Amino acid sequence: MEHGFIAWAKQRAMRLPKIKLGIGDDCALMASDGSDWVVTTDSLCEGTHFILQECGPLAVGRKLVGVNLSDLASMAAEPAAVFLSLCLPRTHADRLGAEIYEGVCQACQEHNVAIGGGDTNVWDGPLVVHLTAIGTARAQGSWLRSGARPGDKIVVSGHLGGSLLGKHLDFEPRLKLARALYPLGIVQAATDISDGLGVDLLNITVASRCGAEVDLDLIPISNAAIEAAQTSGQSPLEHAIGDGEDFELLMAVDPAKISELPSEVDGVPLTVIGTFVSRTGLWSRNKRGVMQLQPRGYVHGI
Ligand SMILES: [Mg+2]
């Protein structure tokens, strides 16, 4: 449903000049007299994004802040404030609310972000939490999904796959990485990996009206992806391409400046995994040649 709905919603929304970039990127850009505002919102639902009995409410609060700050990082924005809304199950609303809030406070303190306000509701459904995060844009322009050009190098941070084994609850939104890379002027487009390398790479190619060719042998596979593959029936590579919630940065880097790309920032590796190409679609390259790449990670013959 999501892609069709987003396309329709984008068409349906009234356009006003105050919104410089609306539906369809990691964040919206709102004009102001000073720096533009960068705004994003995300919800987490019990049973879909977390199992409350397994992770506990504090981790839910921390994840909620992290997923939103990850979107700000993908635009190279500086976070300023968050607004929290809680829909708490009636049976233990007070305790749950306080523990989630503690997680939100901890994560906000770590990133020097204010809690600007919010809303609480009690209902008979499961736990659902929402956060809106607001940041300030770079004066020289935000990283967008639409900036990739054929020839740009595809670069990812960190190691991918297997986030369900723990990383999806405990990750570092890549704000420091964005701060280190932005001044180099080498990043043309970016998003964060929330839906999986394949899907998020496809999002950049669609926004940038190009394609992407990935060298499968270069994808940095996490230890968790290798561990998950022992019982899942999928290969580690399929986990790395399809799993999602890595919250790493996926970027297009100017090939003329690729030598300026550091191999790591603060211990977070940066890896070139392929090239954006003019032929639309996702393509994989390995020893056996070039094949179409399924965004969800299914790889023929591996
Ligand atoms: Mg995102």
Give the distance (Å) from ligand 1 centre to CA of residue 74: 7
3-state secondary structure of 50: strand
Q: Are residues 77 and 179 in the same domain?
A: no
What letter does residue 152 receive in the DSSP assignment?
P
Residue 103 within a domain: yes
Examine residue 5 and state whether it is found in any structural domain, yes or no. no
Cβ(153)–Cβ(275) under 8 Å? Answer: yes
| 46 in Cβ contact with 126 (< 8 Å) | yes
Q: Which domain range does residue 54 map to?
A: 13-136
For every one of its 302 residues, what pLDDT tens digit does the chain have, with 9 covering 90 and above? 567 888 888 888 888 889 999 888 899 999 999 899 999 999 999 998 899 999 999 999 999 999 999 999 999 999 999 999 999 999 988 999 999 999 999 999 999 999 999 999 999 999 999 999 999 999 899 999 999 999 999 999 999 999 999 889 999 999 999 999 999 999 999 999 999 999 999 999 999 999 999 999 999 999 999 999 999 999 999 999 999 999 999 999 999 999 999 999 999 999 999 999 999 999 998 888 889 998 886 554 43
User: What's the gap in Å between 83 CA and the centre of ligand 1?
Assistant: 18
Q: Do 277 and 156 lie in a common domain? A: yes
Same domain, 121 and 260: no
Distance 288 CA to ligand 1 centre (A): 32
Which of 101, 136, 171 is where one domain is finished? 136
Q: Is the dihedral of CA 192, 145, 73, 55 positive or negative?
A: negative
Q: What is the CATH number of the domain that holds 101?
A: 3.30.1330.10
Distance CA 16, CA 6 (A): 18
Asked if residue 40 lies in contact with residue 104, where contact means CB atoms within 8 angstroms, the answer is no
Output phi, psi for 81, to 5 deg: -155, 155
Please state the domain count of the chain: 2
Do 178 and 119 share a domain, yes or no? Answer: no
Compute the distance from residue 109 Cα to the ligand 1 centre, in Å.
22
What residues are paired with 212 via a beta bridge? 276, 282
The total of other beta-carbon atoms located within 10 Å of residue 116's CB is 13
CA of 25 to the centre of ligand 1 (A): 7
